[in-house]
Chain A
Amino acid sequence: MEKSRYFEYEKRIREAYEKLKQSYLEVKDSYTEMIFRLALVAEYKDETTGTHLVRIADYSTEIARGLNLPEKDIEYIKYASPMHDIGKLIIPEEILKKPSGLTPEERELMKQHAKLGADIFQGSRSPLLKAARDICLMHHERHDGTGYPEGLKGDQISLYGKIVALADVFDALTSVRPYKEAFEFDDAVALIKDQSGKHFDPKIVKAFLERLNRIRDIWQAGKDIEQFVSEKDNES
């Protein structure tokens, strides 16, 4: 083959590859953007804050690292964990925002957000969306089988579900809600420890405790962000 033609082919292949890589990156970017936007809609409806979503991703990522999961799985959990409550999009607002005293029927309906969220991703072949499905479906299951929607036990619960379950409870404990004050960091950690083998899988609790310094940094950063935002709100 002539040298010049060879270089021409090589150039074309390189250009085609660059184009393909670029469109892949664009799809990947718009997908992750979509995840945060959808999750945000669900959170708005529920009146919790967006910092909660970022912290859930951060806590879950730390636990996943503590478990020495492969880098790919850590990426999945980082991007899929903020979707855990996406099923709340389908729950009527008057139930989500009811300050207290749900009737038993309303409570049952509320619990359906896990299954409804999972249905959104059901049947997907994308590993990321499969992770999102597991997380939606299983983040209210408990290690001892007393959770919902299925009452799954131990390793019947996916690892992704177990990780986000702990991250979600820890973040709820350390956050102010209309019906409660925020727990102090150490008190929330003590509660998590106490629930090892009950609500939570002991190996998830162990991974969480091993990275407690970093968990504390994330908790503190979340508080700092909220402080900056509320100062700005008060100014305007």
Chain B
Amino acid sequence: MELRREEKNDITICYIVGEININTVPDLKVIFNGIIEEKLEKVLLNLEEVEYIDSLGLATLLFFDKGLKAASGKMIISNIIPKVGSIFKITKVDQVLTIFEAEEEALKHFE
């Protein structure tokens, strides 16, 4: 798993590549905790290149969302591929997190 970070105006976009799973979650948590400590207000996770997510991955995203909110920030997810989208859907995690199909829509929502 890799995470590439870009700043666009006041929005931080994280492009995650690979699987978000039990093996990659420890690294991701460290990065997410860093973002929460930075007190970033607008974070967009672009999951276009995420091929699979397991239970630990879903839970990590949920805790990150909660952590950011507690620090007065907001997280949005975009570009989930259909295969991964079906995992969000069956677990109903798609009802808890804010998800947009495309990055542009998500960016617009932040504005």
A→B interface (CB under 8 Å):
29-30, 32-33, 36-37, 39-40, 43, 49-51, 53-55, 57-58, 61-62, 78, 214, 217-218, 220-222, 224-225, 228-229, 232
Given A29-B82, A225-B62, A228-B96: A50 touches B89 (CB 8 Å cut-off): yes
Q: In the complex, how many angstroms separate the beta carbon of A95 from the nearest chain B beta carbon?
A: 23
A229 touches B89 (CB 8 A): no
Given A40-B90, A228-B96, A229-B96: A222 touches B83 (CB 8 Å cut-off): no
Write out the residue numbers on chain A whose beta carbons fall within 8 Å of the beta carbon of B52: 78
B83 touches A57 (CB 8 A): no
Write out the residue numbers on chain A whose beta carbons fall within 8 Å of the beta carbon of B66: 228
B93 touches A229 (CB 8 A): yes
Q: When each residue 55-99 of chain B gets 1 if its CB lies under 8 Å from chain A and 0 otherwise, what string results?
A: 110110011001000000000000001110111011111011000
Band of interface residues on B: 20 to 34
Identify the 10 closest CB pairs spanning chains A and B, nearest first.
A50-B90, A36-B86, A221-B59, A221-B55, A33-B83, A224-B59, A33-B82, A221-B56, A40-B90, A229-B92
Write out the residue numbers on chain A whose beta carbons fall within 8 Å of the beta carbon of B89: 40, 50
B59 touches A51 (CB 8 A): no
Write out the residue numbers on chain A whose beta carbons fall within 8 Å of the beta carbon of B62: 224-225, 228
B96 touches A54 (CB 8 A): no
Q: Which of B58, B63, B95 contacts A54 (CB 8 A)?
A: B58
Given A40-B86, A228-B93: A29 touches B55 (CB 8 Å cut-off): no
Cβ-closest chain B residue relative to A53: B90
Query: Complex formed: what's the CA distance from A55 to B22 in Å?
Result: 12
Query: Complex formed: what's the CA distance from A212 to B76 in Å?
Result: 33
Q: Which of A78, A221, A232 contacts B58 (CB 8 A)?
A: A221
A36 touches B96 (CB 8 A): no
B56 touches A30 (CB 8 A): no
Name 10 extra pairs, CB < 8 A, besides A221-B56, A228-B66.
Answer: A29-B81, A29-B82, A36-B86, A54-B55, A54-B90, A58-B54, A58-B55, A218-B56, A224-B62, A229-B92
Cβ-closest chain A residue relative to B82: A33
Given A36-B87, A54-B87: A218 touches B22 (CB 8 Å cut-off): yes
Query: Complex formed: what's the CA distance from A225 to B52 in Å?
Result: 17
15 contacts between A and B (CB under 8 A): A29-B81, A32-B83, A33-B82, A36-B87, A40-B89, A40-B90, A50-B89, A50-B91, A53-B90, A54-B54, A221-B59, A222-B55, A229-B91, A229-B92, A229-B96
Cβ-closest chain A residue relative to B66: A228
Cβ-closest chain B residue relative to A214: B22
Write out the residue numbers on chain B whose beta carbons fall within 8 Å of the beta carbon of A32: 83
Query: Complex formed: what's the CA distance from A139 to B111 in Å?
Result: 51
Write out the residue numbers on chain B whose beta carbons fall within 8 Å of the beta carbon of A29: 81-83
Q: In the complex, how many angstroms separate the beta carbon of A25 from the nearest chain B beta carbon?
A: 9
B63 touches A224 (CB 8 A): yes
Cβ-closest chain A residue relative to B95: A232
Cβ-closest chain A residue relative to B57: A221
Q: In the complex, how many angstroms separate the beta carbon of A46 from the nearest chain B beta carbon?
A: 13
Query: Complex formed: what's the CA distance from A57 to B21 in Å?
Result: 12
Q: Which of A58, A214, A225 contacts B93 (CB 8 A)?
A: A225
